[in-house]
Structure 1
Amino acid sequence: MNFIAPINTDLLLEESQKEDLYLKLIEQINKDFNLANEGIDFPMSISPEDLKIQLHEKIYRLIQYKFAEYLNLLYIIDVSEDQIKKLDGSDLVQLAEQVSFLILKREWQKVWFRNKF
C-alpha cells in the first residue's frame, strides 16, 4: 500500500474525512505546533474550511513576524527543505498558502502511515 499525497489542500482534507482520519490530523497538527512552542489549539469541531483558513493565517503571521519560529516549526513537522526552497517567496500570502499545504501534506502522511501500519 503506497502513500500518494493529494495535490491540494481541499483534496487532502476531503481524503482525511473519507478515511475517518480528520480528527487524527487535527490532533497531529496541534501536537506538532505545541512541540514547536507555537501553541495552536484547533478544536476537534473545526470545519475543514476553517482549518485551512486559520492554518494559512497562522503561517502567514509566522513568516511575517516570527521567522525563526517559523523555521523551527518546519523542522519539527519535518517539511521537506527541498520543497520549501522550490516555492516562490515573492508573494507572502501565496507563500503562506503553499507552506500550509506542505505542512498539511506532511501531517497527513504521518497520520496515514500510523493508521495503515
Structure 2
Amino acid sequence: MKLPKTFESLIEEANQLDLYKQLILQLNKDFLLANIDLDFHEEVLPSSLKLLLHDTVYRLIQEKFTDYLNLLYIIDVSEKQVKALNGDDTLKLSEEVTFLILKREWQKVWFRNKY
C-alpha cells in the first residue's frame, strides 16, 4: 500500500474506492474510544472534516495533552513520525498530526476493505 502524500490525494483515493464514508465511521469510532466529543456526520465535506479535525487536535494539544496522547495511542499513530515533527509552532504541528491521524485511519479502512 502506498500512502497518500497530501490530504487531497487521500480524499481523492477514498472517494475513488468509495471508502470515504468508512473513513468517517472509523474516525468516529476511534474518537469515541478515546472519549473525545467529536462526531462527524457521514456526509461531512472533506474541507469541513479537515477543519474540524485540525481544530480539535489543536485544542487537545493546548488544553488536554493527556487526551491528545491517548487519542494518538488509540488510533495507533506512529510515535516515530510524531517525534519527527517540529513542535515549535503548535498550529503547524496540529495540522501535521491531523494528517498523520487521517493517514493511519485510511490505512485501517483500506486494509479492512482489501482483505
Scaled by the length of structure 1, the TM-score of the pair is: 0.97
Does the 8 A contact of 1:30 with 1:39 survive in 2? no
Aligned residue in 1 for 2:98: 100
Q: Which runs of 4+ in 1 moved over 6 A?
A: none
- 1:41 corresponds, among 39, 42, 63, to 39
Segments of 5+ residues of structure 1 without an aligned counterpart are: none
Q: Measure, in 2, the Cα distance between the counterparts of 1:5 and 1:79.
A: 14
Aligned residue in 2 for 1:78: 76
Which amino acid counterpart does residue 49 of structure 1 have in structure 2?
A: S
Query: What is the aligned length?
Result: 115
Which amino acid counterpart does residue 92 of structure 1 have in structure 2?
A: T
Identity, % of aligned positions = 58
Aligned residue in 2 for 1:4: 2
Segments of 5+ residues of structure 2 without an aligned counterpart are: none
Q: Give 3-state SS (helix, strand or coil) of 1:87's partner.
A: coil
Scaled by the length of structure 2, the TM-score of the pair is: 0.98
1:46-94 per-residue CA deviation (whole Å, 9 max, x = no partner) reads 0011101110000000000000000000000000000000000111110
Aligned residue in 2 for 1:57: 55
Q: Measure, in 2, the Cα distance between the counterparts of 1:88 and 1:8.
A: 18
Aligned residue in 2 for 1:109: 107
The alignment yields a C-alpha RMSD, in angstroms, of 0.5
1:17-71 per-residue CA deviation (whole Å, 9 max, x = no partner) reads 1110000000000000000001211001100111011100000000000000000
